[in-house]
Chains A and B, each alone.
Chain A
Amino acid sequence: MPEPLIEVDALTKEYRVHERAPGVVAALASVLRRKYKIARAVDALSFSIGAGERVGFLGPNGAGKTTTLKVLSGLLHPTSGTVRVAGFDPRRREHPFLRNITLVMGQKQQLLWDLPPADTFILNRAIYDLPEREYQETLGELTELLERGDLAERPTRQLSLGERMKCELVAALLHRPKVLFLDEPTIGLDVSMQVTLRDFIRRYNERFGATVLLTSHYMDDVTALCPRVIVIDKGRLTYDGDLQALAHRVRPHKRVRVRREDGREETVDVPQSELKARVTQLLAERGIADLTVEDPPLEEVMRELFMEKRTTT
């Protein structure tokens, strides 16, 4: 494994949240006397990621993914534990550290709303103090990778969500960061746009050797991009390793689909050990038009993983 670029050791992040019962009386009482409860968003989380890796960060809503990304990018301070990214302590937010990272949030945008994206690019160029030649070169390369065309000339508010997201990525990558934190970068996009962005992220990773940590609700993103996944639930590490191995562990079945000549379709889940025998048997039957063997969709794997976790704890 290459030298770790991101190291997280026993990271815990707690929030103090104000809680009260519903209703006016309770609201009034809470003004006078506040009750606080400690919510633990991340709980003794440890992992490390090597330079150039693409890692998927998975977990149900509220698992602590975004909190972890924010700690890694220096926006939140850990309650305890240590974090190092590219040799820096993110919480200090030193400029050399910030020059090395980028954060893309699918739900939030940094583009100036009323001006064309090109203006945001120029602003970022000034902020990162990029020499003109390097800036033009990177912009050209990113534009080419994204097949972005002349989107940058129209005001951001006139662009579609997908077009906007493309420009968000360009704005976030102009300084050629070594570490990419991507929080739901494809959210709300149609399938073909998801594919475009996915390809782009992979190509950026390959061309610049950047490290990518990605959260997504679309399992296809993860399957297509991330050989390795880190799964957390309720702030705790549930799984860290190869994506395929995880699928096999949780769902040791293969899914066999059969289409008969009369048009009927059947799907059966077959344990790995019985697969050969079962397929042979099916093929020997009459009237089979088509037969495919596939892994169960990752969505199902994840659902099962979290269910399993819930019932055992």
Chain B
Amino acid sequence: MRRYLRLFAVQLRASIELALQYRVDFFVGGAMALFWLFWNLVPMVVVWGRRPTIAGWGFWEALLVVAWFTLLRGVLEGAVQPSLVQVVEHIRKGTLDFVLIKPADAQFLVSTARFEPWRGLDSLGAIALAVYALHRLGRVPAPGEVAIALLLTIAACALLYAFAILVVSAAFWVVRLDNLIYLFNSVFDAGRWPSTVFQGAWRVLFTFVVPLALMTTYPPLALLGRLKVSTAIAGLAGAVAFVTMARLIWLRAIGHYTSASS
């Protein structure tokens, strides 16, 4: 365990060095991170500008959802996707062999290979948004509510990671992955809206198939004191099951790779 923590630190350090290596990239990276932070607010300002509530969500409540969306998009684009892109490169160039002959868990090695440190700004911005929204609502969440929101957020990060692992596993069979990543990003974009805004098949899709509800709607609901404990528990259990499934599929995919590639 300590060894993996150290390994994680080494990988993270390399990514930070990389971010610092090109001066222009460094400043552009920072500016882009700030830009996205504000851009995320535009659609909701437009929509809520015309009506006070949508499906029971007022502006400041919906802002909490946007905060979680921003946070998770930072995690997705800052910690999950960069590594994913690297694995796809590895598979295409055949250099995954070097990863597989290392005496460490291959999934760990590939999924910590690259980070975009600038996306850390997203998390800071998200926290600021959430605090401001709660302030405007005049609500101070109870410690238990904060704890549930935190747990759900960790589960949400794990879910994002599991999705990425599934996409990477698919890369062992399908070579072109750009479309799959693009599709996932487009679907994830729906997470900026509270899940109850969607109806019928869409709500089922975003709750059970791509659990955006758990990722971006449940934690704010917990802070607002409107999430049932049973829903939170079901969400956490679902996340654990999903992550386990992703791990199993990854192991199968690696098995497939080693017996089929040349």
Contacts and interface: CB of A to CB of B under 8 A. Distances in A.
A74 B98 CA distance: 11
A126 B21 CA distance: 22
A41 interface: yes
Interface string B203-234: 00000000000000000000000000000000
B173 to A, nearest CB: 13
A111 to B, nearest CB: 10
A103 interface: yes
Contact of A74 (B18, B21, B101): B101
Given A15-B260, A110-B95, A119 B102 contact: no
Question: In which size bucket is the chain B interface?
Answer: 20 to 34
Interface string A90-121: 01010110110111010011101011000100
A108 B21 CA distance: 24
B94 A108 contact: yes
Interface majority SS (helix, strand, loop, mixed), chain B: helix
Given A15-B262, A108-B94, A126-B7, A103 B17 contact: no
A126 B10 contact: yes
Contacts of A67: 262
Which residue, of A105, A109, A126, has the highest number of chain B Cβ atoms within 10 A?
A126
A127 B104 CA distance: 6
Interface string B119-151: 000000000000000000000000000000000
A75 interface: yes
A73 interface: yes
Interface string B89-105: 00001110110111110
Contact of B101 (A103, A126, A155): A103
Given A67-B262, A126-B6, A115 B101 contact: no
Contact of B258 (A76, A101, A126): A76
A112 B113 CA distance: 10
A95 B103 contact: yes
A109 B100 CA distance: 14
Nearest to A129: B3
A98 B21 contact: no
Contacts of B259: 76-77
Given A67-B262, A76-B261, A115-B17, A128 B103 contact: yes
B14 A115 contact: yes
Contact of A77 (B6, B94, B97, B258): B258
Contacts of B11: 123
B256 to A, nearest CB: 11
Contacts of A128: 102-103
B177 interface: no
B190 interface: no
B166 interface: no
Nearest to B14: A119
Contacts of A15: 260, 262
B103 A98 contact: yes
Contacts of A108: 93-95, 97-98
A31 to B, nearest CB: 14
A109 B93 CA distance: 10
Which residue, of B100, B101, B109, B262, has the highest number of chain A Cβ atoms within 10 A?
B101
Given A110-B95, A119-B17, A127 B109 contact: yes
Interface in A119-156: 119, 122-124, 126-129, 155
A105 B101 CA distance: 12
B94 to A, nearest CB: 6
Interface of B: 3, 6-7, 10-11, 14, 17-18, 21, 93-95, 97-98, 100-104, 109, 258-262
8 contacts: A73-B101, A75-B258, A76-B261, A77-B258, A91-B258, A95-B103, A95-B104, A127-B103
Q: Which 3 A-B pairs have the closest CB atoms?
A: A95-B103, A98-B103, A110-B98
